[in-house]
Chains A and B, each alone.
Chain A
């Protein structure tokens, strides 16, 4: 096992009270596997990833419980200097907005090379050569010349390739991609997702893909974890979840997406609004929006029930949900 997150809790202190962003998240990723973490804004999907990466802003954030096991070690027990070793060489992250993630006053060559200077103690000249090699690997045409250019001289898709190159630089075992293609156009999106999938296969990396796009998930993921109000509400192999979701929230999400191959009548809409993290509803956090909610849902927090060996659903009525 490459990464295992166990019962992770993260909260933020805000002026209005404590926002419980992550409330007991558990997931695992094996080498060479792609796990998609699906959720809407505020579901805690990015905060979980930031905690794994060790880049959570603390304060105001605080990890109040849980373990993050990476290659057998609990990352939360490591010193910051050891954490830094893991970051970059062990795991790396790709962000949504490549333009604001790159330094505008340094050439891309300097930024890519920095990885090798800092982590591998290479000379600047060798690091530059490595940077060119990396740019070739993510198929940026004319890498030799473009290595001297600045981020603003690249298009959105090319910048995201540079981010991928930077993440790949030290050949980490795990890559976390946080909405890597959300800011890109569809045709460029497809290019970038293909590249990511190819590199993952080639280097047998684990990939955590954080996204709100059900289409992207269906195209690349092996397994899905659906998050709602800081919890995993359903986790399953990708085929199962699309065929028969075992949680009403997953079902609602799938039904509310307009499809390219259908011209439906009215779209199914999940009623109500995503929960306020300062006041998460009692019992099952989804119950105020759930069409299947009963009294028990208002009082008892559902555990992640085992549906079968590989699936879990945090719904008291997962059997009814599976049956449609």
Chain B
């Protein structure tokens, strides 16, 4: 198998909680990301889903080096980027770009669209020589489906969907190999969401991009991803190919999450089992012992409080070869169908 283009190993990000004014001392830590492993192959889309506070955005920020991990490694083509600095780091950064969630706050309102998309060239002048920049920016606008004549307009002259296209054009400017997209469509209207998703898929084929696609919307993640990781309280609890996760989930959290998604089909509401979880996600400053999901799990037993379940193919499925045999961090993993399958007409 080819070497993955990006790999996260035991990635951890703890934010210290300090108390005291003069003599600060650490009284605890917000364990935002607490040991995340994954690989991303070339040309592939890895979806990461989870609820707010699960650490998915922190993972994204670490991947593009906006945030330094507390421990663990991020390997880009086998090289640990967390140890790089200066010129070497800059070279890697060129290849891993980010698209942000909010198209309103991630574009500088005082810069023209041309300046926003062209700014990466100031930092990486080797990509586009000075005289060539305007043409390159116009090309990028065209690629994301905006009128190339708009280079001198300001962000407020565009709608939400158009702004997100500008954000994507900026991400593409340096011809990166990897794009990390953190909730790229959740601020958009339904009809515009589909346009942006289609654009991202087209660009992936055109430029041979690899995506890390982070979202809380399970339907969108399924649509765009080849593989999916489900995060809960700073860890990936289940991971596999999209059909393995959606049609054969074995972790109770994934099952609950999937069963809670409203399906746009009123016929499905009668014959659909819904698992309603009780309570809220525990605070990341005070993570439960053993399995971190046990406080909300209907299957929790004594063993769950004592032993941390590893993210591996569960014992029950180790001999199996079917789609249920994929890594799931649960002591009592079992298959359960929660997504109503399409009824044949």
How far, in angstroms, from A274 to B188 measured CA to CA in the complex?
12
Q: Which of A105-113, A127-135, A212-220 binds B?
A: A212-220
Instruction: Tell me the complex Cα distance, A132–B342, Å.
Output: 45
Whether A260 contacts B266 in the complex (CB less than 8 A), given A186-B261, A187-B260, A269-B191, comes out as: no
Q: Say yes or no: A258-B269 contact (C-beta < 8 A), given A189-B260, A215-B264, A218-B264.
A: no
The reply to whether the CB of A190 lies closer than 8 angstroms to some CB of chain B is: yes
Contacting B198 at CB < 8 Å: which of A185, A266, A274? A266
Which of A92-100, A145-153, A248-256, A307-315 lies at the interface?
Answer: A248-256
By the criterion CB–CB under 8 Å, are A256 and B194 in contact? Answer: yes
B266 touches A261 (CB 8 A): no
- Shortest A247–chain B CB gap in Å is 13
Residue-by-residue, is B239-279 near A (CB-CB < 8 Å gives 1, otherwise 0)?
00011001000000000111011111111110000101100
| Cross-interface CB contact of B265 among A212, A218, A256, cutoff 8 Å | A218
Cα distance A186–B220 in the bound complex, in angstroms: 14
B159 contact set on A, CB distance < 8 A = 273-274
Tell me the A259-287 residues at the B interface (CB within 8 Å): 259-264, 266-271, 273-274
* Whole-angstrom CA separation of A253 from B193 in the bound complex: 11
Count, chain B residues at interface, CB 8 A? 47
The answer for the CA separation of A257 and B219 in the assembled complex, in Å, is: 8
Q: A212-B189, A212-B190, A267-B198 are in contact. Are A261 and B263 (CB under 8 A)?
A: yes
The 0/1 profile, CB within 8 Å of A marked 1, for residues 44-85 of chain B is 000000011000000000000000000000000000000000
Considering the complex, give the chain A residue whose CB is closest to the CB of B196: A269
Could you say which of B51, B189, B341 contacts A186, with CB atoms under 8 Å apart?
B51
Determine if A71 is an interface residue (Cβ-Cβ < 8 Å). Answer: no
Please tell me if B192 contacts chain A, counting CB pairs below 8 Å. yes
> In the bound complex, do residue B269 and residue A219 qualify as a contact, i.e. CB atoms below 8 Å apart?
yes
Could you say which interface size class chain A belongs to? 35 or more
**Contact A258 B220, CB 8 Å, known A191-B276, A218-B268:** yes
A40 to B194, alpha carbons, bound, how many Å? 13
Does A122 count as interface, using CB distance less than 8 angstroms?
Answer: no
Contact: A190 with B276, CB < 8 Å?
A: yes
B276 close to A40 (CB less than 8 A): no
Interface contact tally, CB-CB below 8 A: 133
User: Which residue of chain B lies nearest to A268 when distances are taken between CB atoms in the complex?
Assistant: B194
Are A188 and B263 CB-contacts (below 8 A) given A212-B190, A261-B340? no
Task: Give the residues in chain B near A270, CB-CB below 8 Å.
Answer: 191, 194-195
CB atoms of B197 and A185 under 8 A apart: no
Chain A stretch 177-206: residues in CB contact (< 8 A) with chain B: 185-191, 193-194
A193 to B262, CA, bound (A): 10
Q: Is A101 an interface residue (CB 8 A)?
A: no
- The answer to whether B223 touches A216 (Cβ under 8 A) is no
Closest to A241 in B: B266
Residues in chain B near residue A186, CB distance under 8 A: 51, 216, 218, 257, 260-261
Q: Is the CB of B194 within 8 A of A269?
A: yes
A256 vs B219: C-alpha distance when bound (angstroms): 12
B114 within 8 A of A: no
Q: Which of A185, A214, A219 contacts B52 (CB 8 A)?
A: A185
* A239 / chain B contacts, CB cutoff of 8 Å: 266-267
- Interfacial chain A residues near B263, Cβ < 8 Å: 215, 218-219, 259-261
Measured between beta carbons, the chain A residues less than 8 angstroms from B260 are 186-187, 189-190
Q: Which residues of A contact B190 (CB under 8 A)?
A: 40, 212, 214, 253, 256-257
Chain A residues with CB below 8 A from B51, complex form:
185-188
Most buried by B among A217, A239, A252, A273: A273
Which of A40, A213, A253, A269 neighbours the largest number of chain B CB atoms within 10 Å of its CB? A269
Complex A-B, nearest 9 residue pairs according to Cβ-Cβ distance, in ascending order: A215-B262, A258-B223, A256-B194, A185-B51, A269-B194, A190-B260, A214-B264, A270-B191, A40-B189
Which B positions have Cβ atoms within 8 angstroms of A?
Answer: 51-52, 159, 161-162, 189-195, 197-198, 201, 216, 218-220, 222-224, 242-243, 246, 256-258, 260-269, 274, 276-277, 280-281, 339-342
Given A216-B262, A256-B194, list of 19 further CB < 8 A pairs? A40-B189, A186-B257, A186-B260, A187-B51, A187-B256, A187-B277, A188-B51, A190-B274, A191-B276, A215-B262, A218-B264, A256-B190, A256-B193, A257-B264, A258-B220, A259-B223, A266-B201, A269-B191, A270-B191
